[in-house]
Structure 1
């Protein structure tokens, strides 16, 4: 998998986590622990995307 493909896969996963967070927030009784876990996963993915796209990592 190329770096570009990997970044696109991470972006897709990031979007699906955003959707899952939104769905959980709109339930009658949102699970705060689940939302926290999803947000942590989303942040880790965002950090990985930034790392892969930062000019310092390009050679």
Structure 2
């Protein structure tokens, strides 16, 4: 993998990580104010999908090392 590809992956990882944290804060605020449970559930599902994407990007950056 080239340096440019790694840099792009790191940039996307950082962006998604920030978005994931922002979504977490929004979910907590919605729970505190007693918003619609269905909307909260949808946001939690989106957050979980982001977490899966973050894990996939992290796996691309860390090479498999067979010991």
Bin of the TM-score, shorter chain as denominator length: 0.7 to 0.9
How far apart, CA to CA, are the structure 2 residues paired with 1:31 and 1:50? Answer: 29
Aligned residue number for residue 6 of structure 1: 12
Across the aligned residues of Structure 1 and Structure 2, the Cα RMSD in angstroms comes to 1.5
Summarize the alignment of residues 1-59 of structure 1 with structure 2, pairs less than 5 Å apart.
Answer: 2-27=8-33, 29-54=34-59, 57-58=60-61
TM-score normalised by the chain length of structure 2 = 0.75
TM-score normalised by the chain length of structure 1 = 0.84
Structure possessing the higher radius of gyration over alpha carbons? 2
Which stretches of structure 1, 4 residues or more, deviate above 3 A after TM superposition? Answer: none
What's the CA shift string for 1:13-55, capped at 9, x where partnerless? Answer: 100110110000100x32101110110110010000001111x
How far apart, CA to CA, are the structure 1 residues paired with 2:31 and 2:23? Answer: 12
Q: Count matched residues.
A: 56
